[in-house]
Chain A
Amino acid sequence: MSRQARNMIKYIIKRILLMFPILIAVLIFTWVLSNMMSVDPILNKIPGNIIDPERYEQELRKAGFWDPWYVKLGIYLGRFFSGDWGESFLLAERTKVITFISEIFPKTIELMIFSIIIVPIIAVKFGVTSARHKDKPRDTLIRGMAILGAGFPIFYIATLVQLFVGLTLRTFTHELIFLEVLYPNNPVLDSPVPAGGVGTGFRLIDSVFYNSQIYLWDTLVHLILPVFCMIFVSLSGVTRQTRSSMLGVLDQDYIRTARAKGVMEKDVINKHALRNAILPTSHLVIGGTAGALLGSLFVEVTFNYTGFGYNMYSAIIAGDYLVINGLLVFSTIIIISGTLVADVAYTIIDPRIMY
């Protein structure tokens, strides 16, 4: 094993160990937050919300209301690491939070995977084109699109697209083009998995496995618009970043040298320039992927897509504090591991970086 690879593994192990103090700090912080929440956890647990003082006190004692704070915190941390994240009492009654997350998270992945795959490919192409033809019509077009994506709020674009495809297009084509985007999924098509079958939780994969094409079409139709909005919005940031770093690189002397010695323009751009300009972009893409996995709150709320962000929002509105807590901790875990992956990926993209 070479020295660099060994250093790399050492570094990864060190980073994973460093994640634990941050995780515990995050847990303590979320614990403080959930203590600050003004929701009464007991009242919601008693069926029918009947305030019977004795029963109320009994429940409080059972929940450990009069324990000192360090006992509460200890119990909280202990239960967290043993996998007991509590139960939801409003959103999905009597469901464990971990089960709840495992139910909703595949939906968000399904929504985001398209934009995660498509955006870097298109955006880098756009950014390079825009930098090569600086101040030409093509550049102006791409920059204009990028600034529209960055300046318009995502929920506004989502609402307008919904209106256009769901209502205007349908009316003006006399229902020739009719995508059921304004309506929820067909309730008859509850799940493609037959009774007793094993499902992955991903609706697309399930419907392909069990060969239910109606279900596949129903899922796809409801995915088109959210995916379009996600792509349109996340495209702008990556394009702008690629363009500005590409412009910086194209000014350099070695690009002129490469052109002077007769390297093909294609190779100058793809090999000399792009490889040097890609690092800030990759930071944005890989770092953004962790954030994208959590789903765009606004897209999910606008399209009523019951993924991670939508459930986060409804939990906050309803005051289901254990779900909020669980989702927040889960998202921080994803972000922390995302930064770790990003740091490791840098060494692959830019071999000069060593740890």
Chain B
Amino acid sequence: MEQPYVEEDLKRDRHPTDKKKGFSRYLKFYMIPGWRHPDFTATEYEIDRTKSRRRLFRRLLKPLTIAGMVMILFIAVLGVFSPWLTPFTIEHLVPPDFLPETPYLQPSPLHPLGTTRYGFDILGRLIWGSRTALTAAALPVIIGTIGGLAVGTISAYFGGKVDALIMRFCDFWFAFPVLILVIIVAPMIGNSLYNILILFGLFGIPGSTRWVRALVLQVKQNVYVRAAITSGAEKFKVMFKHVLPNAISPIIIGFFGAMGGAILGFVGIAFLGLGDEQFSDWGTDIQYGRGQWGAYYAVFWPGLFIAITAIGFMLIGDGLRDALDPRLHL
């Protein structure tokens, strides 16, 4: 007996004994409010799955991540165009120069957010401070990550005595509270901005070393690494060409999260009065206006900007984590 509908129905992924057409078969269910055709749902699910798997950017562009990017973009724009955004030059906003203004003025057309100690314009210090903030976020993390990458890879790859030595040093270093150590050491070597940032970076190396070492040890188990060694590749080539590129994705994710932490740490140092007065810096602003209860805006705005930067970096880090490596717990 002929079955003319078989081919067509197989194409539609329907059982051949099911004689009714789609619409008439599900006709009675269309009366139920909120009911959907199963084929339609299945197709939609299929599209969603392939779509979300295919494109990194589609997974990256969640609302929260976009919000984070907008925040960082805002701060970056302030930093790049700061000479054009405020009539004050940086020389008029740092201590050696004293304007004839009274400190802690109320907001006025000349000073839209009021003035802080020594009569510096708050808005001007905010705008110029974004440069300091972005530097403070980037530099320690770059130093820490690159140092950690180099030392951690060497430690994991060579193993043996080198590994033991480096790991004992890390154990020793973890016994210290890092922030207190920075506060102690920074005045010794002169607390200029770059000294503090480099110190932060150097003190962060042991932490990232231990992390990178764990990642590299995982990758080292793979077959292609052993194949490369067997076929006679040099040690450094295997290390930096085969092992490292495969361990790099969690490191990139961790990079952004660490930037949020780095800026909070640096602002904390500045808040304690150990920052560099030659740069406009939000932490110093909060330290200036701390006891001035009548001029709360001298504290309110810098803190808000710190939070915008830190939260922006954290949101981007979270978004990258969800997009690249959802199983990773940071």
Contacts and interface: CB of A to CB of B under 8 A. Distances in A.
Contacts of B286: 153, 155-156, 159
B56 interface: no
Contacts of B188: 33, 36-38
B168 to A, nearest CB: 9
Contact of B290 (A147, A159, A182): A159
Interface in A26-80: 26, 33, 36-38
Contact of B314 (A37, A150, A297): A150
Nearest to B181: A328
B175 A335 contact: yes
Contact of B268 (A150, A298, A316): A298
Interface SS of B by simple majority? helix
Contacts of B268: 153, 155, 297-298
A142 to B, nearest CB: 14
B263 to A, nearest CB: 9
Contacts of B184: 33, 316, 324, 328
A316 B175 contact: no
Contact of A160 (B175, B180, B187, B299): B299
A235 to B, nearest CB: 15
B123 interface: no
A331 B177 contact: yes
B187 A248 contact: no
B122 interface: no
B307 A163 contact: no
B78 interface: no
Nearest to B293: A167
Interface in B273-313: 273, 283, 286, 290, 293, 296, 299-300, 303, 306-307, 310-311
A158 to B, nearest CB: 10
Given A38-B188, A312-B180, A313-B183, A153 B272 contact: no
A339 B173 CA distance: 13
A219 interface: no
Contacts of A317: 273
B299 A301 contact: no
Interface string A312-342: 1100110000001000100110011001000
Given A151-B311, A153-B306, A301-B272, A22 B172 contact: yes
Nearest to B176: A332
Contacts of A245: 329
B320 to A, nearest CB: 14
Nearest to A241: B329
A297 B315 CA distance: 26
Contacts of B310: 150-153
Interface in A288-327: 291, 294, 297-298, 301-302, 312-313, 316-317, 324
Nearest to B171: A22
A248 B321 CA distance: 13
B180 A331 contact: yes
B165 interface: no
A151 to B, nearest CB: 4
Nearest to A309: B180
Nearest to B309: A151
Nearest to A26: B175
Interface centre among A156, A166, A182, A245 (most CB of B within 10 A): A156
B185 interface: yes
A184 interface: no
Nearest to B261: A150
Given A156-B286, A332-B176, A336-B175, A248 B272 contact: no
A326 to B, nearest CB: 13
B309 to A, nearest CB: 9
Contacts of A38: 187-188
Interface in A7-34: 22, 25-26, 33
A2 to B, nearest CB: 30
Contact of A280 (B185, B272, B306, B329): B329
A253 B107 CA distance: 60
Contacts of B181: 328
B172 A316 contact: no
Nearest to B306: A153
A130 to B, nearest CB: 13
A129 interface: no
A212 interface: no
B179 interface: yes
B259 interface: no
A244 interface: yes
B267 interface: yes
B193 interface: no
A32 B64 CA distance: 47
B66 to A, nearest CB: 15
Contact of B180 (A155, A301, A328, A339): A328
Interface in A139-170: 147-148, 150-153, 155-156, 159-160, 163, 166-167
Contacts of A312: 180
B175 A297 contact: no
Contacts of A36: 188
Contacts of B201: none
17 contacts: A26-B172, A26-B175, A33-B188, A38-B188, A148-B307, A153-B264, A153-B267, A153-B268, A160-B303, A280-B329, A297-B183, A297-B268, A312-B180, A313-B272, A328-B180, A331-B177, A336-B175
Given A150-B311, A160-B303, 14 more contacts: A148-B311, A150-B314, A151-B260, A151-B311, A151-B314, A153-B267, A153-B306, A153-B307, A153-B310, A155-B268, A163-B296, A182-B293, A335-B176, A339-B174
Interface of A: 22, 25-26, 33, 36-38, 147-148, 150-153, 155-156, 159-160, 163, 166-167, 182, 241, 244-245, 248, 280, 291, 294, 297-298, 301-302, 312-313, 316-317, 324, 328, 331-332, 335-336, 339
Interface of B: 171-172, 174-177, 179-181, 183-185, 187-188, 260, 264, 267-268, 271-273, 283, 286, 290, 293, 296, 299-300, 303, 306-307, 310-311, 314-315, 327, 329-330
9 closest A-B pairs (Cβ-Cβ)?
A151-B311, A156-B303, A151-B310, A332-B175, A152-B307, A151-B307, A244-B329, A25-B172, A336-B175
